[in-house]
Amino acid sequence: QTIYLKDYTAPGWLVEEVHLTFRLAPEATRVLSRIRFTPNPDADQGQFFLHGEQLKLISASIDGTPVAPDISEEGLTCAVPDGAFTWEAEVEIAPAKNFALEGLYMSSGMYCTQCEAEGFRKITYYPDRPDVMSVFTVRIEGDTPVKLSNGNPVASGEGWAEWHDPWPKPAYLFALVAGDLINHPDRFTTMSGKDVELNIWVRPGDEGKCAFGMEALKKSMKWDEEVYGREYDLDIFNIVAVDDFNMGAMENKGLNIFNSSCVLASPETSTDANFERIEAIIAHEYFHNWTGNRITCRDWFQLCLKEGLTVYRDSQFTSDMRSAPVKRISDVIDLRARQFREDNGPLAHPVRPESFQEINNFYTATVYEKGAEVIGMLKRLVGDEAYSKALDLYFERHDGQACTIEDWLAVFQESTGRDLSQFKRWYSQAGTPRLHVSETWEDGTFTLHFRQETPPTPGQPDKAPQVLPIAVGLIGPNGDEVQETTLLEMTEAEQSFSFSGLGARPVPSILREFSAPVILHRDTDNAERAFLLAHDTDPYNRWEAGRTLAKQALLRMIADGAEADAGYLGALATLLADETLDPAFRALAMALPSEDDLAQTLHESGHVPDPQRIWEKRQEMRSAMAEAMPDLLANLYAAHQVPGEYQPDAGPAAARSLANSALALLSRRDGGDRARAQFAEADNMTQQLAALSCLLSIEDGQTELKAFYDQWHDDRLVMDKWFSLQVAYARPDQMAATTERLANHLDFDMKNPNRFRATFGALTMSPAGFHHASGAGYKLLADWLIKLDPLNPQTTARVCSAFQSWTRYDADRQAMMREALERMAAQPKLSPDTREMVTRILNA
56 burial level (CB within 10 Å; 0-12, 13-18, 19+): exposed
- Does residue 360 belong to the site contacting ligand ARG (CB under 6 A)? yes
624 within 8 A of 569, measured Cβ to Cβ: yes
Q: Which does 246 bind (CB under 5 to 8 A by kind): Zn ion, ligand ARG, none?
A: ligand ARG
**Can you tell me the distance from the alpha carbon of 69 to that of 620, in angstroms, rounded to the nearest whole number?**
68
- Does residue 314 belong to the site contacting ligand ARG (CB under 6 A)? no
Q: Which does 363 bind (CB under 5 to 8 A by kind): Zn ion, ligand ARG, none?
A: ligand ARG
Nearest 10 degrees: Cα torsion 657, 520, 361, 395: 80
Nearer to Zn ion, 307 or 331 (CB): 307
Q: Which does 250 bind (CB under 5 to 8 A by kind): ligand ARG, Zn ion, none?
A: ligand ARG
- Does residue 243 belong to the site contacting ligand ARG (CB under 6 A)? no
Nearest 10 degrees: Cα torsion 783, 789, 791, 794: 130
**Can you tell me the distance from the alpha carbon of 768 to that of 150, in angstroms, rounded to the nearest whole number?**
46
**Opening angle at CA 727, ends 726 and 729, nearest 5:** 70
Minimum distance of Zn ion from residue 240's CB (angstroms): 17
673 burial level (CB within 10 Å; 0-12, 13-18, 19+): exposed
Nearer to ligand ARG, 308 or 345 (CB): 308
Nearest to 362 by CA among 347, 380, 384, 382: 347
Region from 129-137, 300-308, 441-449, 587-595 binding Zn ion, contact rule CB under 5 A? 300-308
Task: Using CB under 6 A, count the residues that bind ligand ARG.
Answer: 14
Q: Which does 678 bind (CB under 5 to 8 A by kind): Zn ion, ligand ARG, none?
A: none
DSSP labels, 530-586: HHHHHH-S-HHHHHHHHHHHHHHHHHHHHHH-PPPPHHHHHHHHHHHH-TTS-HHHH
Nearer to ligand ARG, 688 or 834 (CB): 834
- Does residue 285 belong to the site contacting ligand ARG (CB under 6 A)? yes
Q: Which does 538 bind (CB under 5 to 8 A by kind): Zn ion, ligand ARG, none?
A: none
Region from 111-119, 120-128, 461-469, 707-715 binding ligand ARG, contact rule CB under 6 A? 111-119
Binding mask 770-799 for ligand ARG (x = CB under 6 A): ------------------------x-----
- Does residue 249 belong to the site contacting ligand ARG (CB under 6 A)? yes
Q: Which does 249 bind (CB under 5 to 8 A by kind): Zn ion, ligand ARG, none?
A: ligand ARG
- Helix axes of 595-604 and 539-560: crossing angle, nearest 10 degrees: 80
- Does residue 246 belong to the site contacting ligand ARG (CB under 6 A)? yes
- Does residue 752 belong to the site contacting ligand ARG (CB under 6 A)? no
| Residue 705 vs residues 271, 749, 762, 818: alpha-carbon distances, Å | 17, 20, 17, 36
**Can you tell me the distance from the alpha carbon of 17 to that of 88, in angstroms, rounded to the nearest whole number?**
12
Nearer to ligand ARG, 369 or 720 (CB): 369
250, 545, 590, 650: which one binds ligand ARG (CB under 6 A): 250
285 is catalytic: yes
Structural element, H or E, at residue 798 = helix 793-800
Peptide bond into 372 cis (omega under 30): no
Structural element, H or E, at residue 253 = none
Nearer to Zn ion, 307 or 595 (CB): 307
Region from 92-100, 306-314, 397-405, 506-514 binding Zn ion, contact rule CB under 5 A? 306-314
**Can you tell me the distance from the alpha carbon of 37 to that of 84, in angstroms, rounded to the nearest whole number?**
5
- Does residue 116 belong to the site contacting ligand ARG (CB under 6 A)? yes
DSSP for residue 291: B
Q: Give the three-class secondary structure for 689.
A: helix
Q: What residues contact residue 507 under an 8 Å CB cut-off, 6+ apart?
A: 474, 475, 477, 528, 531, 532, 535
Nearer to ligand ARG, 179 or 793 (CB): 793
- Does residue 117 belong to the site contacting ligand ARG (CB under 6 A)? yes
**Can you tell me the distance from the alpha carbon of 296 to that of 292, in angstroms, rounded to the nearest whole number?**
4
- Does residue 118 belong to the site contacting ligand ARG (CB under 6 A)? no
Minimum distance of ligand ARG from residue 659's CB (angstroms): 33
Minimum distance of ligand ARG from residue 606's CB (angstroms): 37
- Does residue 148 belong to the site contacting ligand ARG (CB under 6 A)? no
Q: Give the three-class secondary structure for 23.
A: strand
Region from 143-151, 246-254, 452-460, 526-534 binding ligand ARG, contact rule CB under 6 A? 246-254
**Can you tell me the distance from the alpha carbon of 221 to that of 216, in angstroms, rounded to the nearest whole number?**
9
Kindly name the residue from 285, 369, 513, 704 that is annotated as catalytic.
285
What residues numbered 308-337 form the site for Zn ion, per CB under 5 A? 310
Nearer to ligand ARG, 98 or 693 (CB): 98
Q: Which residues are annotated as catalytic?
A: 285
The residues that touch ligand ARG, with contacts defined as CB under 6 A, are: 114, 116-117, 246-247, 249-251, 284-285, 307, 360, 363, 794
